[in-house]
């Protein structure tokens, strides 16, 4: 099994300096990304999805945050032990990332052509200008842009949200990365455009054999696009499994609660939806024991004192819960 | 009884350019939209970004002046030559916004925010304090919230404040513009439950605008689908979901991600870009992206008509509603 794992993360911890002191935004996160597969990271706002992704490519906001522990093995090398220069060779070239709002990643004052060529200059300095331009047009075409010549001449603000995301994808794919990390790539888009972009990522993945980490809070997007899923809650992965196993036999009370509260999973329209009581505890005020205790219908004494370790149940199905049973639901 | 009737509603925004702000054209945000809403029902409005959903909601609540057409609320015309002054409708009609943070004054406490409406409408009698307490309880917040400022609340709690403000004068109709779009699912379900409970308790009529079709499906009795300033399909929620006719509605439905990996399905991917609101296509506005176009679709605009089999299911399409 070890061979087909391209990214192996373990015990990752990230700390932030805040006014209220030092907080741990990511606490002991670990997962494995299989070659050619898509791993989904799900979870609600603030649970640490983006920070986890930024840790992988070592782009955490400085100086307020840092990785304090952990290992990020990419093709057998620990990325956290690399020098800045070595990391630059990996970032963009081997591991590329796209973001929710492409506007923040695109340069507003440069044309798409200029930005596309720039990417080639960084990574393939030997190429001639015309070769770079040709390659850019080809990439845009691949990203589903039907008139790349016209789009090349435009500036980011002249493009629709969907087109901007396609340009971002084209840029991310310029170096044929082994891994694409997509952080909420479609959250700002209409469902019809979302479907096109996800379809594009899926097609490109199948063509090139790259692996994808897809971050989203939308469990529908996870169900339709991922092979494996990790569910995060308050800085920890509370459950991880194959996508079918997770949706059919969710074991963690948080995952169960999340799934039950989705309107389209309700038995009948206009009926009350199941809810998860309470709120996520603040990072500055994390309880001892399990972080989900105050909202958990199964909470027992042990949950209030001991933080549950991950237990493997069934088919490689990891759960951090004292009360989860073997049977699932 | 129809509590709201909208007839041939149009809203054009001027497009200006140059230093003299010369008017060079118009954005057709709403281009002849007609429908009615029955008392106590929820009409869901869906459609992609820019199709005119918010403009429609703002016209109905009187925040935006329509260019043409008529809006009747409880039989009274609120626009057009015989229009009744807007103030009269203010206590009947309220609006809830996507981001309550933007619509709540950051310098006011929750108590001040909630009292404002009572004061404006001269209803700040001696029971005001009692009313405010009842209000805050109704939306599931604790009384100590009254002394706090908006930034001290989470997104879901802020939306509760927005809802409390909207229901403060016992309105009959609430236009909800993307009320849960900014919220996580576990918070979203609580707000949807609150809206459902308030509807039952107060007999409210909702116009529920959202781009999330599963939210709209859950909460609506009927659904209207908009495309480029037009209503293209309108019917019972179940009919729209199980029996959609318009090619745009079908594409929209097929694009919803289903939270069940066993349900992975074939999508209808739309080719082409959303038409420009300044220069909408001649004929059917969907003709640039539709997989079923015929010659007629480039010549004539299809009218929204009841279908032959089901007169309560309205479709604006030459191809899929040939009998009219
Ligand atoms: N610059 C920062 N300073 C202090 N804390 C931060 C900073 N950036 C993030 N955090 C904290 O780290 C935690 C994880 O943030 P992260 O951005 O990873 O969340 P997320 O899961 O991506 O959420 P979302 O779905 O909203 O994007 C949050 O609680 C957040 O408050
Ligand atoms: N005040 C305004 N001035 C000029 N154009 C406007 C104004 N308000 C809206 N528009 C335009 O009218 C059209 C409809 O906008 P509207 O906000 O109603 O769409 P929407 O369906 O609510 O979209 P979204 O889902 O993004 O909220 C758009 O083309 C928009 O740019
Ligand atoms: Mg994030
Ligand atoms: Mg809107």
- pLDDT tens digit sequence for A226-280: 999 999 999 999 999 999 999 999 999 999 999 999 999 888 999 999 999 988 8
Does residue B165 belong to any structural domain of this protein? Answer: yes
Q: How far is the CA of B27 from the centre of ligand 4 (A)?
A: 15
Query: Beta strand A179-183 with A211-215: parallel, antiparallel or unpaired?
Result: parallel
Are residues B169 and B36 located together in one domain of the fold? Answer: yes
pLDDT over threshold 80, residue A19: yes
Are B193 and A199 an interchain contact pair (Cβ–Cβ within 8 Å)?
no
- Of B220, B240, B264, the one marking the end of a domain is B220
Task: Evaluate whether A41 touches A232 at the Cβ level (below 8 Å).
Answer: yes
Please tell me the predicted confidence (pLDDT) of residue B167: 92
Average pLDDT over residues A215-224: 95
**Residue B284 located in a structural domain:** yes
For the Cβ of B89 lying below 6 angstroms from any atom of ligand 2, the answer is no
- Is residue B140 one of the residues assigned to a domain? yes
Decide if B208 touches A, using CB distance below 8 A: no
Answer yes or no: do B146 and B34 share one domain: yes
Closest CA–CA distance from residue B102 to any residue of chain A (Å): 18
**Distance from C-alpha of B37 to C-alpha of B2, rounded to nearest angstrom:** 5
Query: Are B212 and B98 contained in the same domain?
Result: yes
The reply to whether B283 and B212 lie within a common domain is no
Q: Is B54 in the pocket of ligand 2 (CB under 6 A)?
A: yes
Q: Could you give the number of structural domains in chain B?
A: 2
Q: Parallel, antiparallel, or unpaired for β A317-319 and A236-242?
A: antiparallel
Does the beta carbon of B215 lie under 8 angstroms from any beta carbon of chain A?
yes
In a domain, B301, yes or no: yes
Nearest beta carbon to residue B258 from set A223, A248, A257 = A223
Would you give the DSSP letter of residue A315?
A: T
| pLDDT mean across residues, chain A | 92
Domain assignment present for residue B242? The answer is no
Q: Are residues B293 and B163 in the same domain?
A: no
Strands lying side by side in the sheet with A21-34 = A21-34, A5-18, A65-74, A77-78
Residue A281 pairs in a beta bridge with none
The burial of B188, by beta-carbon neighbours within 10 Å (0-12 exposed, 13-18 middle, 19 or more buried), is given as buried
User: Among partner residues B192, B197, B273, which is closest to A263 by beta-carbon distance?
Assistant: B192
Q: Are both B204 and B261 inside the same structural domain?
A: no
Question: Quick one: pLDDT at residue B87?
Answer: 58
The greatest distance separating any two alpha carbons of chain B, rounded to the nearest whole angstrom, comes to 68
Residues B214 and B261 in one domain: no
Does any domain span residue B226? no
The contacts of residue A3 (CB under 8 Å, 6+ apart) are none
Domain assignment present for residue B182? The answer is: yes
Residue A269: per-residue pLDDT: 93
Which pTM value belongs to this model? 0.93
Residues B190 and B278 in one domain: no
Stronger pLDDT, A190 or A71, i.e. the higher one: A71
* Among B50, B88, B62, B49, residue whose Cα is nearest residue B9: B62
CA distance A261 to A265: 8
pLDDT band of residue B81 (cuts 50, 70, 90) is very low
Q: Please name which ligand lies nearest the alpha carbon of A49.
A: 1
Q: Do B199 and B265 share a structural domain?
A: no
For residue B80, being part of any structural domain is answered with: yes
Query: Complex ipTM, two decimals?
Result: 0.90
Whether residue B59 is found in the same domain as residue B152: yes
Distance CA B267, CA B63 (A): 38
Within a 10 A sphere around the Cβ of A94, how many other Cβ atoms?
18
> Which domain, by its residues, includes B171?
2-220
B216 and B252 share one domain: no
Query: Mean pLDDT throughout A107-133?
Result: 90
The CATH number covering residue B178 comes to 3.40.50.300
Tell whether the model's pLDDT for residue B68 goes beyond 50.
yes
> Do B255 and B207 share a structural domain?
no
């Amino acid at each position: 099994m070890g061979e087909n794992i391209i990214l192996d993360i373990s015990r990752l911890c990230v700390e932030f300096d805040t006014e209220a002191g030092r907080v741990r935004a990511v606490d002991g996160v670990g997962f494995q990304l299989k070659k050619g597969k898509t791993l989904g990271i799900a979870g609600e706002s603030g649970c640490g999805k983006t920070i986890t992704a930024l840790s992988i490519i070592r782009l955490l906001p400085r100086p307020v945050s840092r990785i304090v522990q952990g290992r990020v093995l990419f093709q057998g090398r620990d990325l956290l032990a690399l020098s800045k220069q070595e990391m630059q060779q990996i970032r963009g070239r081997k591991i590329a990332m796209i973001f929710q709002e492409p506007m923040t990643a695109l340069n507003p004052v440069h044309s798409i052509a200029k930005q596309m060529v720039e990417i080639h200059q960084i990574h393939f300095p030997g190429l001639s200008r015309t070769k770079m331009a040709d390659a850019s047009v080809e990439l845009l075409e691949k990203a589903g842009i039907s008139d790349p010549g016209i789009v090349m001449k435009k500036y980011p603000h002249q493009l629709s949200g969907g087109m901007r995301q396609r340009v971002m994808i084209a840029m991310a794919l310029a170096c044929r990365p082994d891994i694409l990390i997509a952080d909420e790539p479609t959250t700002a888009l209409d469902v019809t455009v979302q479907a096109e972009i996800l379809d594009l990522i899926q097609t490109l993945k199948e063509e090139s054999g790259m692996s994808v980490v897809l971050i989203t809070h939308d469990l529908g997007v996870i169900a339709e696009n991922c092979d494996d899923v990790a569910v995060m809650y308050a800085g920890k992965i509370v459950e991880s499994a194959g996508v079918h196993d997770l949706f059919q036999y969710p074991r963690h009370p948080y995952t169960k609660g999340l799934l039950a509260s989705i309107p389209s999973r309700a038995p009948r329209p206009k009926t009350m939806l199941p809810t998860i009581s309470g709120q996520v505890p603040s990072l500055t005020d994390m309880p001892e024991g399990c972080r989900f205790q105050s909202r958990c219908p199964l909470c027992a004494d042990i949950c209030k004192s001991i933080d549950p370790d991950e237990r493997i149940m069934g088919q490689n199905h990891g759960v951090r819960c004292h009360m989860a049973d073997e049977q699932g639901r | 009884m129809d509590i709201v009737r909208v007839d041939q509603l149009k809203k054009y925004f001027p497009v200006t350019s140059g230093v003299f702000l010369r008017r060079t054209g118009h954005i057709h945000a709403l281009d002849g939209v007609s429908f009615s809403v029955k008392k106590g029902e929820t009409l869901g409005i869906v459609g992609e970004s820019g199709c005119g959903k918010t403009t429609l909601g703002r016209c109905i609540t009187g925040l935006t002046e329509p260019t043409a057409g008529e809006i009747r609320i409880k039989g009274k015309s609120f626009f057009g030559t015989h229009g009744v002054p807007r103030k009269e409708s203010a206590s009947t009609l309220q609006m809830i916004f996507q981001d309550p943070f933007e619509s709540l004054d950051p310098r006011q406490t929750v108590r001040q925010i909630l009292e404002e409406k009572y004061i404006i409408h001269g209803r700040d009698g001696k029971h005001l304090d009692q009313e405010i307490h009842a209000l805050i309880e109704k939306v599931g917040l604790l009384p100590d919230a009254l002394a706090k400022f908006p930034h001290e609340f989470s997104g879901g709690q802020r939306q509760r404040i927005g809802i409390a403000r909207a229901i403060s004068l016992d309105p009959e109709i609430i236009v909800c513009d993307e009320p849960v779009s900014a919220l996580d699912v576990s918070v979203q379900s609580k707000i949807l439950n609150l809206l459902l409970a308030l509807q039952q308790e107060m007999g409210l009529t909702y116009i529920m605008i959202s781009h999330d079709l599963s939210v709209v499906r859950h909460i609506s009795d009927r659904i209207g689908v908009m495309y480029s300033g037009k209503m293209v399909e309108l019917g019972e929620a179940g009919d729209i979901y199980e029996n959609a006719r318009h090619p745009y509605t079908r594409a929209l439905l097929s694009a919803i991600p289903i939270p069940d990996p066993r349900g992975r399905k074939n999508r209808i991917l739309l080719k082409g870009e959303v038409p420009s609101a300044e220069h909408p296509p001649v004929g059917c506005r969907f003709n640039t992206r539709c997989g079923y176009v015929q010659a007629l679709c480039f010549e004539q605009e299809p009218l929204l008509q009841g279908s032959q089999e089901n007169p309560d299911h309205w479709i604006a399409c030459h191809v899929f509603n040939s009998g009219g």
